[in-house]
Amino acid sequence: MQKAITVKNVHIKYREIKQISIRDIFLRRKEKMYEEYEAIKGVSFDLEKGKILGIVGKNGSGKTTLLKALAGIFSPNEGVIDLHKNTVSLLSIGIGFQPKLTGYENIYLSGMLLGFSEEEIKSKEKEIIDFCELGDFIYKPVRTYSSGMYSKLAFSITAILETDIILIDEVLSVGDTNFRKKSYNKMKELITDSNRTVVIVSHDMNILRDLCDEIIWLHDGKIKMRGNTLEVLSNYEKFMK
């Protein structure tokens, strides 16, 4: 089978600036002014084209960090991430939009960042606007949007423009009941395309059970378990209890 994603021995570290006074800076010049935290610790896996992978783990386990690295937002300190020339989009609240621009303007900005031409975006414009159900708010600045409205627009752009790889960070769980149902059905429709690869980070076990071919369980930045969806989720839920 053709690979869509290869992750090999990836390490990702953060630097957190210490809270110190100006006086301490001069008195402790030789000491590091920051603390280093390793969020991802030697993670490796391959994902075949057309597969749906779920990622679970308690808060702080490195799930979102890994997803952002797959999207190209973070670069690994060590190791390799290879998307095998596939186009990729990330669905995550708080990422990707310019707050001062309108929703309409962000459709074009997001589409171009995903590699689509203005003509290609124009051909999908009405479908995106109709799907997101924002009405006249589509012409208002994104900074005025609620998290639900933001997620509707983010999901609509990614779902309608259809990249090779879709990365989802909890967005299917946000928004009003009707839109959650509609986005869930749309995602299932996208997944039926054997050429599209999906990675989902979620705390919703029902979504993961229904959609995913397999699960990776991250714990403290490492893969604790990978395998069959039902088996991994069963072990994870026992662990969390």
Q: For residue 183, what are its two tokens? A: 């986005």
Average pLDDT over the chain, rounded to whole? 88
- Neighbouring residues of 201: CB distance < 8 A, sequence distance ≥ 6: 54, 55, 56, 63, 64, 67, 168, 169, 170
Average pLDDT (89-118) is 87
Residue type, 197: T
Q: At what angle do helices 103-113 and 147-161 cross, to 10 degrees?
A: 40
Rounded CA separation 123/121 (Å):
5
CATH superfamily, domain at 3-240: P-loop containing nucleotide triphosphate hydrolases (3.40.50.300)
Q: Is 25 strand, coil or helix?
A: helix
3-state secondary structure of 114: coil
pLDDT tens by residue, 21-58: 566 656 555 556 667 889 999 999 999 999 999 999 99
Other beta carbons less than 10 A from residue 57's beta carbon: 24
What pLDDT, in 10s, does the model give residues 214-224? Answer: 999 999 999 99
Q: Quote the pTM value.
A: 0.82
